[in-house]
Amino acid sequence: MRTVELLLDEAADLAVREAWWRLADAGLPSQARHRSPTNSPHLTLAACPELTSPIRWELAEVAAALPLPVRVTGVVRFERPTSVLAWALHLDPALAALHGRVWDAVVSDSPPETLNPLHAPARWSPHITLGRSRRAGAFAGPRVFELLPAPPSSVRLTTLRSYDTETGTLEVLEPRP
């Protein structure tokens, strides 16, 4: 699979990494424990089996719309087969439009059964993952919120990239010249 993700500006990246380390230092699940050199704070927009030429063409237009400022709304927890702790992002019209373009691009040239329905516009919850665990309720205690630094009030989404889950390689998706 190939993900389509947005990276954060430097200040936001550092803030997320601080949250990762606070969770890890407290013995809680944290993205800081993910040792891959490709591990960076990011916002996942979609995933598809392959970045075909038609998909790439559309993603180049999306990349041209960056950077995009987005407001952080606070901490959120998800319990979908894994427990996730994250900073939620406000789904304003600009972010919704950008995500919609990415979704339309991957849908246009991917078998429907290969797409994650949680990335569909009606179900997508924009967030930056701080920690993830297969253990249900891993982030249920009130102590978790006390450990975290205050999230930045906003972040800038700066770079469109793709991660290949089979090869472990990253690719920055550039705007067309």
Q: pLDDT tens for residues 47-91?
A: 999 999 999 999 999 999 999 999 999 999 998 788 999 999 999
pTM of the predicted structure, to 2 decimals: 0.94
User: What three-state secondary structure class fits 33?
Assistant: helix
| Least confident residue range of 92-96, 133-137, 166-170 | 133-137
Tell me: pLDDT of 37 over 80: no
Report which secondary-structure segment, H or E, holds 147.
helix 143-147
Tell me: pLDDT of 35 over 90: no
Question: What pLDDT is attached to residue 176?
Answer: 86
Question: What pLDDT is attached to residue 135?
Answer: 87
What mean pLDDT comes out for the span 102-129? 96
- Residue 53, amino acid: S
Q: List CB contacts of 8: < 8 A, sequence separation 6 or more.
A: 16, 41, 42, 43, 128, 155, 156, 157, 158
For 84, which DSSP code? E
User: What three-state secondary structure class fits 76?
Assistant: strand
**Does the N-terminal peptide bond of residue 67 adopt cis geometry, omega within 30 degrees of 0?**
yes
